[in-house]
Amino acid sequence: MVVDLAESRKKIDKIDAEIVRLFQERMSVATDVAAYKRSTGKKVFDAQREEEKIATLRAMVDDEFNKKGIEDLFRQIMSISRKHQYQVLGPVVNEIPFQEVDSLDVSDTTKVVCFGEHGAFTEQAMEEVFGNNIQSFNKQSFREVMETVANGEAEYGVLPIENTSTGGITDIYDLLVDYDVTIVAEHVVQIEQALLGLPGTKIEDIRMVYSHPQGLMQCARFLEQHPDMMTKADSSTAGAAKKVHNEKNPSQAAIASERAAKTFGLEVLQPAINDESDNCTRFIIITNKKIFLSDANKMSLCFEIQHQAGALYNMLANFYYNDLNLTKIESRPIENRNWEYRFFVDVEGNINSPGVGNALASVKEFASKVSVLGNIAKR
């Protein structure tokens, strides 16, 4: 049987027009539902109701392919309906109990802790954000920095979280879950790694190179070109420079900053050995206060979701339907729960914006666990 394509297209157009009309009618009814939920305090997301509805709709269809198609279609429609209801309801008052501030409270008595030895890139980031008129000190591990801020020994802490060539620093993401701290700002530093050795040392004499794992990864190409050089990870790049200085072994070198070379009296054997010329690291400023800066323009969230098909898609749709640009997503395994993951996302926006409030209200209902890590300003 020969099918008239033009006639078939006319039929599809007519059907599609009816679907559009019915969709708009459904959204109108969803507005009424939102008004009812506003008056009764009932939550927008009702998982049991949605699953019962899907089962009913699937039962209306005979063909298994169409059953799956109906389920996909109506899950999407219900997701859109939820987003519409959140927009009608508006953001929940005090949804995020953070206090807005115009600037960071900094004076000559302000205590700021940063990761690594003196001469570290983190110390550079700290000085560029806070200046030198503060009481600063260093800790040798990411966890120590977190603890120092969380328990109030320091008002602020500075930690690296992401590098343009080697990606996110996973240890930081895991620690953000363990400690009740807030990311209040971020600062980007251009990173130029150098090979440092004792004065008078020649590159061909080097047999062991120390650095933080990130430093070694950022200079992988240089190290491949020098197969006689073995590598060993250290707690920080500046810590590696300190080690070379203390041990006085001319066969040892460190990958660190030229700032570290000056700090520990080392010689720059070769500058700029990092693979990428535009090598940058993003540092975060943390505090134990629940605050955000007025000019903050990025939300950082952590959430867990049900281990089922479509769960991540439905979660991320909350940002899309509220016109929020998702700038980063990172996953980390959840301890003692094989093949289940915790997600960290950054989205553009300020706590005060309606879109952020709407998205967070939806996220909090849909996620099994969620926390706002901070509303971040660039510094």
Report the run of H or E that residue 293 belongs to, with start and end. Answer: strand 291-293
Residue 350 φ then ψ, to 5°? -115, 145
Residue 247 φ then ψ, to 5°? -85, -15
Question: What's the Cα-to-Cα distance from 338 to each of 302, 332, 334, 342, rounded to whole Å?
Answer: 19, 11, 7, 12
Of 98, 115, 264, 283, which one is the catalytic site residue? 283
Strand 167-168 to 267-270 pairing: unpaired
**DSSP tag of 204:** G
Is residue 281 among the annotated active site residues? yes
Say how far apart CA 317 and CA 265 lie, in whole Å: 54
Our measurement of the distance from residue 210's CA atom to the centroid of its chain's CA atoms, rounded to an integer in Å, reads: 29
Say how far apart CA 305 and CA 362 lie, in whole Å: 13
Is residue 182 among the annotated active site residues? no
Say how far apart CA 146 and CA 114 lie, in whole Å: 10
**DSSP tag of 152:** T
Comparing C-alpha atoms, which of 360, 345, 119, 153 is closest to residue 244? Answer: 119
Handedness of CA 29, 35, 40, 45 (dihedral sign): positive
List the structure tokens of 351: 């706590």
Is residue 157 within 8 Å of 181, Cβ to Cβ?
yes
Of 166, 182, 281, 287, which one is the catalytic site residue? 281
* Catalytic residue set: 281, 283
